[in-house]
Amino acid sequence: MPTLFHSLMLARSPLARAWLLSAGLLVIGGCREAETAAPAAPLQEVAVYEVTSAAQALTTTLPGRASAHLIAEIRPQVGGIIQQRLFNEGDTVKAGQALYQIDPQSYQAALAQAKATVSSANATLKAAELKARRDAQLVKIDAISAEDNESAQAALLEARASLQSAQAAQRTAQINLDYTRINAPIAGRTATSSVTPGALITAEQTTALTTVQQLDPIYVDFTQPSSTLLRLKRELADGKLAPSEQADATRISLELEDGSTYAHAGTLTFNGVSVDESTGSVTFRAVVPNPDGLLMPGMYLKATVQEGVQHDAILVPQQAVSRDERGGATALVVVDGKVQQRELTLARAVDNRWWVSQGLAAGDQVIVQGLQKVRVGQQVQIRDNTLTAHNDSN
């Protein structure tokens, strides 16, 4: 079949050639119109998260160690031979409960001697009182000299002083005898014993016989970098954060070493007043109930503390945030149907969302699905299932 070009070449008359050329131009124009009338490609669909602002409590998790609420190192106040140990290691004892018994025989003898001295001093005092009273009457009738009377009165005073000294010695002997029974000064749990019955101990020795620790409640000491504390105070002063208005603002929650949450909340009781020069951190202390004895001194814990509240905080799903080649946080938002990129400043992660301090505002539509299929400046179509803060939290 001859083509249009062949037909033009074969046509002999100019009129025929003109007619064939016109027909060819009409065919080409029709093809171009057909191409122009072809339907446009559909817009890429994306799912977005509509940004909202809400009050958000600022919390921080800090490492800490448990320590006993009260500690008493048991040391003897008199020397002797341990006769009995009156507790089982690890027992919980009451305040005043006996822990050790020292052989009391020598102290019983000392007390008996002190009592005898008191009795002798009492007898001497009575004789001195009688003589002083009699001499006081005799001197009035010049039966004795004034010097003799003065000597009798002085002897009376000396007898009284001797009695007081003997009574003090008796009290000391009684105290030493009482010290042979070593009691717990506080209620708590006992540690291992460093001595056994038959051991010789000395008064105020450096080695403790045992230790009693009060573990309910228990202290938890945790640290925070001083730089973080300065930032928090600056944000509170600038109004970026507001002090917590909750009644339990000083309460903390604890996470155990195995990752589980401790059942009882603690109460913050002490804020550090100095910075540790070696670590650059400030120490905080909380009192935590420990009725079951689960927490032990030296145990590692994580404490979550509420520091303040931001009333217009912005949180977005983590899948909406990407990282550029420099590691900076970015997000794609839809503005007037087109994709724009925003550089973000992230404060911290809150569950499965990012707390955004800069880069987004309430009402922004952040792309959360379809990020890989769009580019900056592209026209896109928003799906109907727009995410909100409510269904995102679900």
Regarding whether 306 and 222 lie in a shared domain, the answer is yes
Tens of pLDDT, residues 65-96: 999 999 999 999 999 999 999 999 999 999 99
pLDDT of residue 34: 47
- Examine residue 96 and state whether it is found in any structural domain, yes or no: yes
The Cα 242–Cα 86 span in angstroms is 56
pLDDT for 207 beyond 80? yes
pLDDT for 23 beyond 60? no
The pair of three-digit structure tokens given for residue 203, joined into one six-digit string: 């008064």
Which CATH number fits the domain that encloses residue 189?
2.40.50.100
Regarding whether 84 and 173 lie in a shared domain, the answer is no
pLDDT of residue 390: 46
> Minimum mean pLDDT among 199-213, 218-232, 368-382: which range?
218-232
Three-state SS letters, 9-38: HHCCCHHHHHHHHHHHHHHHHHHHHHHHCC
- Examine residue 253 and state whether it is found in any structural domain, yes or no: yes
Regarding whether 232 and 110 lie in a shared domain, the answer is no
DSSP secondary structure string for all residues of 184-223: -SS-EEE---S--TT-EE-TT-SS-SEEEEEEEEEEEEEE
> For the residues 307-311, what does the mean pLDDT come to?
72
Regarding whether 194 and 89 lie in a shared domain, the answer is yes
Regarding whether 227 and 185 lie in a shared domain, the answer is no
The domain of 353 spans 46-56+312-393
Count of domains for the chain: 5
pLDDT of residue 223: 80
Q: Is 284 exposed, middle or buried (0-12, 13-18, 19+ CB in 10 A)?
A: buried
> Minimum mean pLDDT among 87-96, 183-192, 206-215, 351-360: which range?
351-360
Regarding whether 322 and 348 lie in a shared domain, the answer is yes
Regarding whether 317 and 382 lie in a shared domain, the answer is yes
CB atoms closer than 10 angstroms to residue 89: 11
| C-alpha closest to that of 393 among 32, 28, 52, 27 | 52
- Examine residue 41 and state whether it is found in any structural domain, yes or no: no
- Examine residue 24 and state whether it is found in any structural domain, yes or no: yes
> For the residues 217-245, what does the mean pLDDT come to?
66
Q: Model confidence at 268, in pLDDT bands (50, 70, 90)?
A: confident
Domain boundary among 130, 162, 179: 179
Regarding whether 99 and 186 lie in a shared domain, the answer is yes
Regarding whether 323 and 381 lie in a shared domain, the answer is yes
Angle at 297 between CA 293 and CA 302, to 5 degrees: 90
Regarding whether 139 and 203 lie in a shared domain, the answer is no
Is the whole-model pTM more than 0.85? no
